[in-house]
Structure 1
Amino acid sequence: MTNINTEVVLRKLLDNIAKEHNYNDPNVSVRAITTDGASYSSMLYAATISTPNKEELQLFAKVANVGEIARSQLLLPLFDIERFAYKELLPAYEKIQDRNKLSNKDRLVWPKFYGCNPNLYEETVVLENLKTKGYVAYDRLKSIDWAYASKAVESLAKFHALSIAYGEENPTQYAELLAKMKFNPDSLNKMAGTFDKLVDMAVAVTKEDNKERLRQYILKESGFKNIDKFYQSTGLIILSHGDYKPSNLMHKTNKDGSIDVIPVDYQTISANSPIKDLYYLIFTGSDEEFRRHHYEQLIDHYYQQLCRALRNLNLDPEKHYPKKNYEKDLKDFMPFGLVLGVLALPVITVEAENAPSLQDENGLNSILTTKTSNLYPERLNGIVNDYVRWGIL
């Protein structure tokens, strides 16, 4: 792979966007955005397109920044999925919301899409810049609180309900889409060694009293050979977000103190259980104290909001996801919280200056050489403590 000048790639696309929107002889400015360790697959940019007597376009762009080795290891075609989301899936969801005449309060919102480049190693998407509307990313090193978490799961419930509604309206197409986006367990073979080393990293920072019980539980219940069960649920299967963590959500605090949350980063949509998204938010975005006070409250709130979102779309929650099925799925997926602690926390809690690169020759294995932060053992031990308290470990 040759080195790609991501700004040059972006500017070519921005020129095309300017022409499509009739910005004649435009002034195009581009500014790189630091990700502070929150983004590993893309270079991020803020851009503006302006011309006299027209409203300035305030844009946000993502340009692929993944090397050949990491691409061969990835479990999903990230950039293809994101283009599909913005060009096809989300517009279909918008039509469903329109047909059901949802109010602004009841709608799922996502950034406006302006254009993309599908070329290999130049994959780019350009969206509206939500920061110009007052939205900001959550501090990934800070635990979510109830005000934020409750709104985050409301948006998640809307996303999941729209998937179910899409399936009701397009059953054949939906079945084909789920089959296409179903997880392929064979792809895990590429990560076997990485998983074992991540387990060793986790055990090494676990408090002495829990070291052996964590190792034995992971090997027995959540070992590498069993991970695929979390990606092939026998319960409700929908189009899940796949990476529903605070750094992939934008939020705004309104004058009355209420919070609006907009999910972004649709690179990891896959056919899976809604519980995977819910647990992803909980176990990557919160600490032990939050879960001690709000875990039950949050999982109840999610289900209530899912039922509400389904009814808003003229669907029967009891038909599509009965409470007993939801509770069974919660129980079946419970080990996934520990899996996330092992797999995701080293990177999610990393300090910005130590964030791994997906461009180098180590590919995804660069995670293993990442210098972990002091927050990593704190968050991991918090999850372990939860599982001991819940009688699982």
Structure 2
Amino acid sequence: MPPIVQCDKDDLLLIKELNPVVRQNIKQIINKEGFVTYTVNVKDVTTNGANYLGTLQTVTVSGKTKDGDKELHLFLKNIINEVGRLSVLNVSEAYLKEGFCYKELFKIFETIEDKYNIPQEKRLNTVKGYSETNSEVIILDDVSKMGYKAYNRFGVMTKKIAELAFEQLAKLHAMSFIIRKEYPKYFENKIKSLNTLFNINSEFENHLRNTCNKAMETLEGDAKAKLRDFCPKMVEKYSNYIKIAPEEAVCITHGDFQPNNLLLKETNGEPSSVMIIDFQFAYYGNPVTDLIFFIFLGTDQKFRKDHMEDLKELYYGTFESFLSDFGISASVVYSKRQFEDDFKEKLDFGLMCFIQFMPFLFARTDQLPELQNGLASLTLKMDERYKNCLHGVVDDFIQWGYL
């Protein structure tokens, strides 16, 4: 049974399942919410390979305020300090970046949406974040109580889920242009300064080489030769795509936009709403990288053949319509022609991302990768289904002329 602790307003929340810093964070939230007496229920959450940079918990606070009974549901993402020493990524900075999005950025955008009287169903759908979020923990509403659940990383992507995801992504990207219009100084100081946290160092280069070699083990003939020729170019091309020149950057990008980072809600058994989560890798870049990332890390070859072009159209149509609600012309700030050109130019980013993330995408649930010792110690023990997905990705890029 999960721990349930009876507390009163002067307790220090001595709950061993929460680290001391987080205890104080929760205590502050409980005080602000006006609890007089309460019980605290803490549960650990297992993701089976959907999260590597933190441990997850839910906290339920049930009790009384001066106005009567009250219940509060929180979701915690706690930093794993050992992972914080990854040389390719500053994990503490990643937590601060995600905290910035939830604590500040999305609240500013909500204020703008209020100003323009945007109906709730048309707004960017985000999880409420708490100001007590810091470099140790991300504290959010537990939206599972609203019917949202994590997407299964081995689940089958449907067109409807992808459509809901791309609609939200278009609004996320549009947000940058809207904030630039409403708060130009804030945009210059806080959004344009969001850089990628990835370090393209020797550890990362070795990781790409290792995953390339693993990929080539399953290929034969022309496909294997073409991938072998492409692999030496990957490090430079990948770096150029995520560390683009300031004049080529367009808006805030998610940086890790894949099905694992969606929360899905169903109505009568059908997908009805999604929330995008996990903004630790957000940076000021080019929006097509998010689309490409999702398409190749979340779909198979048949899905891409049947739906990729339609999803691109849906994305840009949503982007255009959403901006118009704030008096902004998409053709002026990021034209359809530029969008199409960028997508075509950067499409091979999908091949690089697929190869880079294979060990995480297809990790067997009984042999999940561990990052305490960095990428150098990463095992490449994957579920067998990665082979068919890899062959489909490589075949697509041969057909399209990128390999």
TM-score of the pair, normalised by structure 2? 0.89
Structure 1: gaps of 5 or more residues: none
Structure 2: gaps of 5 or more residues: 1-15
Change (3 A) 1:180 1:271: same
Contact preservation (8 Å) 1:24, 1:51: yes
Change (3 A) 1:323 1:75: farther
Contact preservation (8 Å) 2:88, 2:198: no
Structure 1 runs of 4+ with >4 Å offset: 184-187
Residue aligning to 2:315: 302
Which one is further off, 130-139 or 49-58?
49-58
Residue aligned with 2:36, SS: coil
Matched AA of 1:390: W
Matched AA of 2:19: V
1:11 aligns with 2:26: no
1:244 aligns with 2:257: yes
Equivalenced residue count is: 381
Residue aligning to 1:387: 397
User: For the residues of structure 2 that align with 1:185 and 1:42, how far apart are their CA atoms?
Assistant: 17
1:363 to partner: Cα distance: 1.7
1:110 aligns with 2:126: yes
User: For the residues of structure 2 that align with 1:329 and 1:130, how far apart are their CA atoms?
Assistant: 35
> What does residue range 177-192 of structure 1 map to in structure 2 within 5 Å?
177-183=190-196, 187-192=200-205
Where relative contact order (Cα < 8 A, 6+ residues apart) is larger, the structure is 1
1:258 to partner: Cα distance: 5.1
Residue aligning to 1:28: 40
Which one is further off, 287-296 or 204-213?
204-213
> What does residue range 126-165 of structure 1 map to in structure 2 within 5 Å?
126-165=139-178
> What does residue range 17-56 of structure 1 map to in structure 2 within 5 Å?
17-52=29-64, 53-56=68-71
Change (3 A) 1:201 1:302: same
Contact preservation (8 Å) 1:14, 1:28: no
Contact preservation (8 Å) 2:75, 2:142: yes
Matched AA of 1:290: F
1:162 to partner: Cα distance: 0.8
1:202 aligns with 2:218: no
- Could you report, residue by residue, the CA deviation over 1:15-51 in whole angstroms, capped at 9, with x for unpaired residues? 2211121112321110001111100011011110011
Residue aligning to 1:365: 376
Find 2:187's aligned residue among 174, 177, 180.
Answer: 174
User: For the residues of structure 2 that align with 1:68 and 1:259, how far apart are their CA atoms?
Assistant: 35
Identical positions, percent: 28
Residue aligning to 1:98: 114
User: For the residues of structure 2 that align with 1:342 and 1:325, how far apart are their CA atoms?
Assistant: 27
Residue aligning to 2:228: 215
User: For the residues of structure 2 that align with 1:247 and 1:256, how far apart are their CA atoms?
Assistant: 20
Residue aligned with 2:87, SS: helix
Aligned-residue CA RMSD in angstroms?
2.1
User: For the residues of structure 1 that align with 2:99 and 2:238, how far apart are their CA atoms?
Assistant: 28
Change (3 A) 1:106 1:197: same
Residue aligned with 1:378, SS: helix
Residue aligned with 2:139, SS: strand
User: For the residues of structure 1 that align with 2:363 and 2:199, how far apart are their CA atoms?
Assistant: 29
1:182 to partner: Cα distance: 2.6
Change (3 A) 1:108 1:80: same
User: For the residues of structure 1 that align with 2:381 and 2:24, how far apart are their CA atoms?
Assistant: 37
Find 2:340's aligned residue among 327, 333, 357.
Answer: 327
Residue aligned with 1:344, SS: helix
User: For the residues of structure 1 that align with 2:84 and 2:162, how far apart are their CA atoms?
Assistant: 36
Change (3 A) 1:78 1:97: same
1:228 aligns with 2:239: yes
Change (3 A) 1:241 1:85: same
